[in-house]
Amino acid sequence: MNEIELLEAVQRTVSRRMFIKGVIAAGAATSSVGYLFRGPAAVFALPSIQGSVGRLVTLNVNGQQRRVDVLPQETLAMTLRYKLGLTGTKLGCDRAECGACTVLVDGTNHYSCSMLTRSAVGREITTIEGLESEDGTLHPVQQAVVDEGGFQCAFCAPGFIMSMVALVEANPNPTREETAQALSGNLCRCGDYDKILTSAMRAAEYARREA
Amino acid sequence: MAEKTIGRDIAPPDLVAKVTGRAKYAEDFRAEGMVFAKLLASPMPHARVRSIDTSEALAMDGVFGVLTADEVPQPGAPNEPALTNEPLYEGEAILAVAAIDETTAADAIEKIRMDLEPLPFVLDPLDSLRPDGPNARLDGNTRIGREVQTIKWSEEDFAAAADGHMPVGQPGDEWSYGDVDAAFDAADLVLDETIVHQSLTHHPLESRSCMAYWQNGKLFIHGSTQSTARTRAAIARGLGLELHDVVLIAEYCGGGFGSKISGSTIMQVPALLSRKIGRPVMLRITRAEETYLGRARPGFQAKAKIGYRADGRVVAMELFIVQDNGPYGRSGDFRTAADMASLTYQVPAMRFGGVSVYTNTPPKSAQRAPGGGQITSMLEPIMDKAARELGIDRVALRHINVPDNDGVFGPRRRGLTSAYVREALDRGVELFGWEERAARSGQRHGSMVTGIGIGVSSFVGGSSGFDGLLMIREDGKLYVHQGIGNLGTHSIADTARAAADVLGMPWDRVEIVWGDTSRHLPWSAVQAGSQTTHAHTRANHAAAMDAKRKLQEIAAGDLGGSPGDYETGDGRVYRRNDRDTGMTFARAARRATQLGGKYSGEELPEDINAMTVTSAQALAGEGLMGVAKDTYPHEGSTFSFVVGFAEVEVDFETGHVVVKDYTAVTDCGTVLHPRSLAAQLYGGGVQGMGMARSQRWVFDPQWGVSFAKRLYTARPPGILDVPLEMKWAAVGIPDPQTPVGAKGIGEPPLGAGAAAITSAIADALGGRCLCRTPLTADMILAAVEGREQPYGPLETHV
Ligand code: FES
Ligand code: FES
């Protein structure tokens, strides 16, 4: 099986499994099934449960090669949060509705809750933890947010910041309107959009200065 | 002397943690041996568990245990338990399973055999008031005093409903003042409107996930909660534990908006499961579960009858509100709504009646401006209608009615600490460009019609009487201990500025101690009801004054003169007319430790709360302690005010609304932190816009189950739904009844944003008030096309 076939096989089994779960949840309506987390313990201590077979893959996360045991149905958000200890990536909905889980994959912003970890193999993954430089200097986008006093509860912040990073790289000179468009896949329930936009505009300014 | 911190933009000290992902929210913690729990939720809106068979689930590999309703505290009716054998709404938790991972827990739940007996249910409160209508609870349909009772109205009471008017029958609550009937008789204009304000869920972005474990008999709990000191108290009370046996770690909270004031009910599940199975338990709450467990704003079906004098002055009001209470407790929103109406329009004669009816819908709780948000968004378009009929300017109508410092409100005609609403209106008229914009109202270009709206919103702005606790340590820094919570308003840092400024301490030498009850926090207000800005600038001011007195005494004792000769600033206490004679705070802290007694916290004031005593005792001897209860005078009720102005465009071909502009002006006393204040004004405004435009519950009336259980089905505003730029201003006159002059500001922005939108949409529709929220595109289109509305006039949850 080549990579692509493997990926398709993975996606087929997952959607089938999720479909069955969905039917059970809707039909009997007794279970609170969301996207579920199968923890590392299952892999390491109880590999035989459910017949799931773990498999080691190498992920390129924040510039490091990380070997990690990943199940076929595992989402990138879960791998980052529960296998790699990168809890800066948040889960607001786990279903592509809010953007709290946004990470960069090959420089493009993606909902990590809705991407299978295995489909990120061989690609460059950047999370909020990967933005600072080695010496602890904040990324221009992070610095811009700090300088503008951005965000309220900030649960949406890691996701927004990753989208801002993707934006300033793709469009170093965005208008406020383009910025809003670029960030429209992220939801801020505190409604801090005004400061978010102002922070993003300043971020673009900082990034231009650095470039 | 250090620059004053109050009034300046200073980023909160936790912001770097927030932008780097280092800030840990509840679901970011891990513990050795941690396992996962899943909930079994009721598929029915009302049922009784006949039997549960968990044997097959428990026999599974990787399953550690089940927690049922029999093992969690069952508070007396009508209060909410964490798990139940009589679910009162679809989605209510019946039991929980702990397993090695979530998949296993969910598989185990599917192996549980449960026999549920369906019971009658009701979704619409009016249905429960019908003579033969069902009750949501077996013990009744409303609570009066402390008792659950049943109120049914007669067929005659419901006669008005036949032609779509709000029926009025026996109330559960009522009051009145003034000669209401005579005032209506004398009125030049009387409007009598039927209002439907639908319930909507809170949807904080962080769900209420929680992780708990026990060590040496102590419960350690990582939860998502607005408050800290008070949440620990609620957890301890709920589980019957001593306060000192609960350690709550909640340094960050991903939003609450009233739904996590303590949020402690569901925390009992991981706490008790963990104790039962002897392992740390993580309960991740999914978005769908959050929608059910995460509280909602009570809906209103109401009658508003308002009498006006020809000049626009409100002379009489009658409000009758049927409130959707959900299945538990008793929501006070409907009463608050009447108080706020009485206050905002300074109604000289008013009658209020209402009944809060139990329904089999998810539990209700305070949601940002509880009661105030609903009534403001509903009454403001009616005020516009009156202005149109009387031929007067809409701002002029507000001007003549709003309160000033002599304002009174409610049946007891209580007074206010301060009110500068007229000043806010004047400022807003200028900033928004009211004259020019109002002239555009109703203009059409293409299919877009312009509407201009205004919303005047009042809400409670602060309590008093809590404790302040701070330390000056031998490193010379000021440590302000905060028992309030950190939910994003920045008040956790901003209220500490009161202490910094009293002592003249530079902000970079102030440390905030918060969010972990093992770090010795004082007894504090709940982080809710816009209380903390007011309550904890006062408490921190009091504690800083105590510290300052002690610094002055220590300096005078060591360096001569009397305490009054000394001043503090820049981390030193020094002689007023001879700055070189003095000592650093670091040295004063060492002296305090040597002197002991009150200086280092070995002797404490008698009037502070027991929790503050425990915390102070733990800190005693570690430097100079400032500790005091806030006993500053507080005469009258503290309210803050926001006036919102909006320009919208309504597409007459699609019913879609575009919010073009929004301006908010507030009277919240002294401005502590301009940028955070702006964030409250805009953020609250944006939430109000969501309430006015899109968010609500929708139920299948036949089965009583929800269709709106995720973000996209009751969608909060996104970044493209709000204006690209907004404006704000503050009147900035200090409140005379509090030493710092600052009043709370969390709540009233919501009503202002919501009302500015309902008012602007009505304006675009030529003054036609649909008197309903949310105003969805299909309703607007039906109104534009003169078609019948897709829902009955009194219908809710649609
Ligand atoms: S958590 Fe991924 S989009 Fe909401
Ligand atoms: S700041 Fe709270 S969700 Fe964005």
* Domain residue ranges in chain B: 297-462+636-785, 463-629
Measuring CA to CA, which residue among B590, B563, B586, B587 is closest to residue B575?
B563
Q: E strand or H helix at B394, and its extent? A: helix B394-401
Closest C-alpha to B78, from B67, B90, B86, B70: B86
* pLDDT band, very low/low/confident/very high, at B782 (cuts 50, 70, 90): very high
Q: Over chain B, what is the mean pLDDT?
A: 97
Contact status, residue B747 vs residue B460, Cβ threshold 8 Å: yes
For B167-286, where are the alpha helices, taking DSSP H only?
Answer: 180-186, 229-239, 268-277
Q: Is the pLDDT of residue A24 over 60?
A: no
Pull the structure tokens for residue B252. 């960050």
Question: How far A43 CA sits from the closest chain B CA (Å)?
Answer: 10
Architecture of the domain spanning B463-629: 2-Layer Sandwich (3.30)
pLDDT (0 to 100) of residue B12: 94
Amino acid, single-letter form, for residue A198? T
Average pLDDT of the residues in A3-21: 38
Q: DSSP labels for B73-90?
A: --PPTTSPPSS-SS--ST
Residue B783: predicted pLDDT: 96
Helix (H, G, I), strand (E, B) or coil at B36: strand
Strand partners, B66: B97
pLDDT confidence tier of residue A31, bands split at 50, 70 and 90: very low
Confidence at residue B145, expressed as pLDDT on a 0 to 100 scale? 86
Domain boundaries, chain A: 3-36, 56-210
The model's confidence at residue B1, banded by pLDDT at 50, 70 and 90, is low
**Which residues touch B385 (CB under 8 Å, ≥6 apart)?**
B191, B762, B767, B769
**Rounded average pLDDT over B634-651:** 98
Report the Cα–Cα distance between both ends of chain A, in Å, rounded: 43
Q: pLDDT for A184-196, tens place per residue?
A: 999 999 999 999 9
For ligand 2, the distance from its centroid to the CA atom of residue B357, given in whole angstroms, is: 33
What distance in Å separates residue B560's CA from the closest CA in chain A?
A: 45
Instruction: List A201's β-bridge partners, or say none.
Output: none
Is the backbone of residue B488 left (phi > 0), alpha (psi -120 to 50) or beta? left
Amino acid at B222: H
B690/A190 Cα distance (integer angstroms): 11
Residue type for position B327:
P
Q: Does B101 touch chain A (CB under 8 A)?
A: yes
pLDDT at B560: 96
Bridge partners of B416, per DSSP, are B637
What's the pLDDT tens digit per position in B104-138? 999 999 999 999 999 999 999 999 999 999 999 99
Q: What is the pLDDT of residue A43?
A: 37
CB B285 within 8 A of CB B266: yes
Structure tokens at B547: 């510290």
pLDDT of res. A8: 43
Phi, psi dihedrals of residue B270, rounded to the nearest 5°: -65, -35
The alpha-carbon gap from B93 to the nearest alpha carbon of chain A, in Å, equals: 9
Contacts of A4 (CB under 8 A, 6+ apart): none
- Pull the structure tokens for residue B629: 């209860």
What local confidence, expressed as pLDDT, does residue A53 receive? 52
- Looking at CATH, the fold of the domain delimited by B297-462+636-785 is given as Aldehyde Oxidoreductase; domain 4 (3.30.365)
> Chain A within 8 Å of B683 (Cβ-Cβ)?
yes
Asked if residue A28 has pLDDT above 70, the reply is: no
pLDDT of residue B3: 86
Query: Residue B716 above 70 pLDDT?
Result: yes
pLDDT above 70 for B319: yes
Listing DSSP states for B558-578 in one string gives HH-S-GGGEEEETTEEEETTE
The yes-or-no verdict on residue B254 having pLDDT over 90 is: yes
B590 Cβ contact partners less than 8 Å away, ≥ 6 residues apart: B474, B623
pTM: 0.94
Domains B297-462+636-785 and B463-629 share a fold: yes
pLDDT per residue as tens digits for the range A65-107: 999 999 999 999 999 999 999 999 999 999 999 999 999 999 9
Q: Ligand 1 pocket, A111 CB below 6 A? A: yes
Cβ-defined contact of A155 to B100 (cutoff 8 Å): no
Residue B789 to residue B791: CA distance in whole angstroms: 5
What is the model's pLDDT at position A54? 57
Q: Report CA Rg, chain B.
A: 27
Average pLDDT over residues B635-650: 98
Q: Mean pLDDT over residues B784-798, rounded? A: 93
Using the Cβ of B12 and the Cβ atoms of chain A, whether some distance falls under 8 Å is answered with yes
pLDDT band at A210 (very low <50, low <70, confident <90, very high): confident
Mean pLDDT lowest among A25-34, B182-191, B502-511 = A25-34
Percent over 90 (pLDDT), chain B: 98
Is the pLDDT reported for residue A23 higher than 50? no
Strand ranges in B592-726 using DSSP code E only, listed in sequence order: 624-629, 639-651, 657-667, 699-700, 705-706
> Which of A162, A164, A189 has the most ligand 2 atoms within 8 A of CB, as the residue to mutate?
A189
Mean pLDDT (chain A, rounded) = 82
Contact B148, B137 (CB under 8 A): yes
Query: What's the pLDDT tens digit per position in B273-282?
Result: 999 999 999 9
CA distances from B265 to A5, A33, A77, B206, B208 (A): 47, 21, 28, 17, 10
Q: Is A38 on the interface with B (CB under 8 A)?
A: yes
Look up residue B290 and give its two tokens.
């959050």
Matching residue, tokens 């990138």 = A76
Strand ranges, E, within A83-189: 102-105, 108-111, 124-126
Contact between A155 and B205 using a beta-carbon 8 Å cutoff:
yes
Tell me which residue has tokens 């408050």. Answer: B227
- Report pLDDT for A37: 54
> Which carries the bigger pLDDT value, residue A34 or residue A209?
A209
Residue A211: pLDDT band with limits 50, 70, 90: confident
- Within 8 A of A127 by CB-CB distance, chain B residues are 21
Note whether A68 and A79 are within 8 A (CB): yes
Residues of chain B contacting residue A81, judged by C-beta atoms under 8 Å apart: 28
The whole-angstrom separation of Cα B722 and Cα B588 is 52
* pLDDT tens track for B325-375: 999 999 999 999 999 999 999 999 999 999 999 999 999 999 999 999 999
Find all residues with CB under 8 Å of B185, minimum gap 6, and list them. Answer: none
**CA angle A76-A80-A86, nearest 5°?**
155
pLDDT of residue B427: 98
CATH of A56-210, one of 2.60.120.200, 3.30.450.20, 3.40.50.300, 3.10.20.30: 3.10.20.30
CA–CA distance, B47 with B712 (Å, rounded to integer): 29
* Tens of pLDDT, residues B432-448: 999 999 999 999 999 99
Q: Averaged over B650-666, what is the pLDDT?
A: 98
Query: ipTM surpassing 0.90, yes or no?
Result: yes
Say if A149 is an interface residue toward chain B (CB within 8 Å). yes
Q: CA B487, CA B509: separation in Å to the nearest integer?
A: 23
Q: Which pLDDT does position B713 carry in this prediction?
A: 87
Residues B109, A32: C-beta atoms closer than 8 Å: yes
Q: Which helix (H) or strand (E) holds B104?
A: helix B102-110
- Establish whether the linkage from the previous residue to B774 is cis, with ω within 30° of 0: yes
Structure tokens at A1: 């099986």
